[in-house]
Amino acid sequence: MPHRDELYMARAIEIAKNSRRFSSPNPCVGAVIVHQDKIIAEGYTSIYGGAHGEINALKKVKNPNILSESTLYVTLEPCAHEGKTPSCAKKIAEVKPKRVVIGMLDPFEKVNGEGLKILQFKIRYKFAYFLIC
């Protein structure tokens, strides 16, 4: 994994820690969006039932037109199912970032590998790396 990917994933992991006190039973998820080697947005999981980390980061992007040229770093595979919130994987597929770097597959049975299927089907670019968080 290139050094920059490690750097931005480490930042996403650090951001995820912000949700430790209030996201349960959801996992703590951090996300960083990078455009031209500059962080343009960050997010982490909200309170239970609220937006997940990657959605909170996407909401902070000031110019959505550059997402197609950006990389999304997320600590956990984006959710595929619909529950209290819409599918993060579907939303990411809609905005079509150039790359998505995922820290680890989600061990939750409703997600495990399903988020990847949605993203690989809709985004022209496949996932470049997997890093165990």
Question: Which amino acid belongs to residue 56?
Answer: N
Q: Per residue in 59-105, pLDDT tens?
A: 999 999 999 999 999 999 999 988 888 999 999 999 999 989 888 88
Distance between CA atoms of 50 and 6, rounded to whole angstroms?
Answer: 28
Task: Establish how many alpha carbons lie within 13 A of residue 66's alpha carbon, considering only the half-sphere containing its beta carbon.
Answer: 15
Q: How many CB atoms lie within 10 A of CB 11?
A: 17
Report the CATH fold assignment for 2-125.
Cytidine Deaminase; domain 2 (3.40.140)
- In this predicted structure, what is the pLDDT of residue 122? 53
Q: How many CB atoms lie within 10 A of CB 4?
A: 13
- In this predicted structure, what is the pLDDT of residue 129? 45
- Mean predicted lDDT score pLDDT of the chain: 86
Closest CA to 54 of 83, 24, 93, 20: 93
With a cut of 80, say whether residue 133 has pLDDT above it: no
Whether 94 sits among the annotated catalytic residues: the reply is no
Direct distance between the N- and C-terminal alpha carbons of the chain, in angstroms, rounded to an integer: 13
Question: Which amino acid belongs to residue 73?
Answer: Y
Catalytic residue among 54, 69, 82, 94: 54
Where exactly are the structural domains of the chain? 2-125
Distance between CA atoms of 12 and 40, rounded to whole angstroms?
Answer: 13
